[in-house]
Structure formats: structure tokens, C-alpha cells
Structure 1
Amino acid sequence: MAYNEFAYFYDEFNGEADYDALYSQIHAKLEAHGIHDGIVADLGCGTGELTLMLTQAGYDMIGIDQSEEMLCVVRDKAEQLGLSGRLLLLRQDLLKLDLYGTIRAAVSTFDTFNHIPDLDTAIANAGFFMEKGGVFLFDMNTPYKHQKVLGDNAFTFEEEDASCVWRNHYNAADRKVEITVDIDYHETGEHFHEEFCEYTYDLDTIRASLEKHGFALETVCDGETFGPLTEESQRYFFCATKQYTQLEG
């Protein structure tokens, strides 16, 4: 999933996202684990709101995304903030992740890992480059959200210059949500159509994959309130620590 044309107004359609609360949660977790600086990778950085907030906090950020359009948006924001020289951006598929060295931590937000059909490989790749004692902070949509909230529903977003219709179909047999996005620009009459999937992973599957690849799952909470999980939680937020390096494992 690349979010090609959608990249340019992703922030407008994602306007209700509480980046400040998300940043506070992530920064507090990093600080609590003694990670006050050093290299942190944002896996699926999107338009870079969180990436740039962590850059401003003093971390050496690597923003990674499969969409060149998303990365262009991040570059523009970084230039406006005077942060271009402090940020490395890589266009990569997380299933083929290849970094230049080790990282102290990794973050991944807004259900990036739900878009990956092979969760086990993605977690293995994140762990491969992480130092012992490193922290992996990420969120994922819950099975409840896929089945009950997205389901077979459609959502319409209206902005001044464009409109977007987001349609979902929950495929129970394959445990995934099939998504189509149609974008219409009012002034030019241009139309864009994108299709992608979100894959459903339950908590036991995620935990088992983390443990398999050298992580200990410390905490999992509601990814919107950051309080306890409930039966109607729509997003998980995970904090896992790397117990050994690949060579030790």
C-alpha cells in the first residue's frame, strides 16, 4: 500500500489525529527506557508529523515509507522547519528493510503494520537492526475495528479542493479489510482511484511474533486513550524491548 495521490491531503483527512498525545506517549516511553537521543526509525512514516516531532526532540530520525509521494511531503515539511539536515528519508518496503547500521528504537503508528501481509517478516526486520535493550513502539488496528467499525462501511471526506470516498469490505475468510479510495478534485475534475488491504492480526499472533524475534512485550494498551484495553478498543499500542541481538539469538 503506497497511498500515492492520497499523500498530498492525508493530513487534512487525518485532521482528528491527536499527534501531541501520540508524541507524548512515545517520547515518555523512550525516556523511560533511557533513550534520550540516538538513531530512531519511523517505520511507515507517512507525511512525517511524528517523525519531525521526534527530530525536534533531538533524535536522529530515519523516516521510512514505500510511497515517494509521502516522502515528498515530509521533505517539504522538514525544509520549512529547517530540519532537512537532521533527517534521513528512505523509500523502502518494510518487508525488505535494509538499514546502514543499528538503531536504538523503532516507532510505527497509524496501523502501518496492518497493511503488511507478512507481519512476522516485518517484525523480524525491525528486530534485526535494533540494539539490545532497544524499544519498539507501534500501534495496530484491532480485530474489533476491522469487523465492527470498518466492516462494510463507507466514509466520505470533504475538503475545499477535493473530496474522498473511502469504502471498506471485511473479508472474514481471509481476515482482511479490502479498501478502495476514490479522490475527486473539484477544480480540475481529476479522479484518482487506489486499492489496498488491511490485514487482521489478533493479540496472540502479534505477541508470538515479537517473542520469536527477540522482543519481550512489556505493555499493550488502548492506542487511542493509552488506558487499559477494552473489548471495544479500536487500536492496540505496544511497547516491546529487544532482549538480544540477532547474533546472540
Structure 2
Amino acid sequence: MSYGDFAYVYDFLMQDVPYDRWLEFFQRKADAYKSSGEKVMDLACGTGELSIRLAKLGYQVTGVDLSEDMLMVSSEKANKENVQLSLFQQNMSQLEGLGLYDVITVFCDSLNYLSSPQEVQETFKRIHDHLQENGLFLFDVHSIYKMEHIFSNQTFTEIEDEVSYIWNCFEGEHQYSVEHELTFFVLDEKTSQYSRFDELHKQRTFTENDYLLWLNEAGFDVLEVSADFSNEKPKEESERIFFVCKKK
């Protein structure tokens, strides 16, 4: 999928998203598993919020995203922050030719945009191919609980002077999937008029056992499975599941 106009209001929508907690999670796991390497791929990097934070810490960061618009925003922000990012437009399930990395991340439930088991399996294999020996793969996904009890059949709204939105969530066509229908109203400062655009985003998750099986098949040792930025194992009402994996 391509985010189109969505890229330019994405940071507004994500303004309360805890990027610093993902950064802290990254640092904690890199230290725990003694990943001293500096080369990091931030896969599905979006508008570069995490990539820029990593670059400021001295990592050599490559950001990869499917959306050209997202990458343009990332580049603009990196220039403004005076940090160096290497940016590439690729589909994560078709990742190729970008060299080897010490750590690869897929955070902020980006993996949930893959619509089939085959896409997830292929993504794991491509990531494995782009990691150094014993390299780390860190990612998170929405839990089944979140899909079924927090998203499904819910509506979220935000009204601000410059950007407002209505976000409706519906049960998707697959098990453990949702469809996000988003309607945005964005103020044009030149005309003082609001323009409307609509987006449809589909997300799907799978069981923890599915992910564990596919990671093993792709050549990973799963070092940890935890929930909600903690070191605790997932519980029935956990919302975000984290995996820490090492290339065999």
C-alpha cells in the first residue's frame, strides 16, 4: 500500500505514539545481547521518527519504507535535524540488495500490514538474509486481544484547528484482522479551506505460535517474547507483543 497524502498528516496522527519507548527497548536489548555493531536497518521507517533518534545516538541508519511520500518526509526531517540517513523505497517482503546489518527493526506494528502468512514468512527470510551472523531482529505486532477487543467496531476522533479525523475500525475479512477507515480534514492555510481525503488501512496479526514457527523456519533463534515494552511475558490482555530474535 502507498500512504499518499496520509504521509503528511501521519505525524499528527502519531503524536502520542511513544517512539522514545521503542528507542529504549532497542538500547536495552542491544546491550543485553551485546550487539556492539553500528549498522541498523529501520524497516518500515515511516516518517523517520525512530531512524532519526537512532542516528543521533551514532548509529549508521538505513531507513526502508514502501511509501515514497513517507521517505520524502523522513528526508526533510533528517535534513532539519542535521542527521544522515540512507533511505530506500522497498517492500519488506521483497527486501533485496541492501547489504548486511547488525540490527534490523520492524517497530510500531508495521508487520501487521502484511496480509498473508506467506508475506510474513518471506519478510522473515529477507530480513535474515540482510543480517550479519548473530545479528538481532527486533519487532512488535498487535496482539489478538487488541485486534478483537480494542480496535474491532470502534471509532476514534480528533478535532484540531489544522487537522481533524474520524477513524472507524471494522473486523477484517481474515481472522485476527481489522480495517481502518480514516477520513481527514486538513486546513489549507492559503485558502483557509479544509480539504478532505480518505484512507483505508488493513492490518492482520497471527498467533504467537505462528510467529515462532515462521521465525524458526527462517533461521532465527527467538531469545525473548514480551509484552507492552516490559520484560514480562504476554498475558491475555496484552496489547503489543515484542520479539527479540538472533540470526543462527
What letter matches 2:219 in structure 1?
A: G
Query: Is residue 47 of structure 1 aligned with residue 35 of structure 2?
Result: no
Residue 4 (structure 1) aligns with = 4
What letter matches 2:73 in structure 1?
A: V
Residue 198 (structure 1) aligns with = 203
Runs (5+) with no aligned partner, structure 2? none
CA shift, 1:62, in A, is 0.7
Query: Is residue 232 of structure 1 aligned with residue 237 of structure 2?
Result: yes
Query: Is residue 100 of structure 1 aligned with residue 98 of structure 2?
Result: yes
Residue 165 (structure 1) aligns with = 166
Runs (5+) with no aligned partner, structure 1? 244-249
- Structure-1-length-normalised TM-score: 0.91
Residue 146 (structure 2) aligns with = 145
Calculate percent identity across the aligned residue pairs: 28
Residue 60 (structure 2) aligns with = 60
Render the CA deviation track for 1:101-152: whole Å, top value 9, x for unaligned: 1111101111000001221111111111111100001110011100100011
* SS of aligned partner of 2:206: coil
> Residues of 2 paired with 1:228 and 1:95: CA distance?
28
Deviates more, 1:121-130 or 1:207-216: 121-130
Q: How many residues align?
A: 241
Query: Is residue 216 of structure 1 aligned with residue 214 of structure 2?
Result: no
What letter matches 1:7 in structure 2?
A: A
Contact 1:11/1:47 (8 A) holds in 2:
yes
CA shift, 1:229, in A, is 1.8
Contact 2:212/2:222 (8 A) holds in 1:
yes
CA shift, 1:49, in A, is 1.1
- Structure-2-length-normalised TM-score: 0.91
> Residues of 2 paired with 1:159 and 1:240: CA distance?
41
Contact 1:37/1:58 (8 A) holds in 2:
no
Contact 2:63/2:87 (8 A) holds in 1:
yes
> Residues of 2 paired with 1:146 and 1:111: CA distance?
12
> Residues of 1 paired with 2:194 and 2:17: CA distance?
29
Residue 111 (structure 2) aligns with = 113
CA shift, 1:31, in A, is 2.5
What is the correspondence of 1:234-249 to structure 2 with a 5 Å cutoff?
Answer: 234-243=239-248
> Residues of 2 paired with 1:53 and 1:226: CA distance?
22
Deviates more, 1:16-25 or 1:87-96: 16-25
Residue 130 (structure 2) aligns with = 129
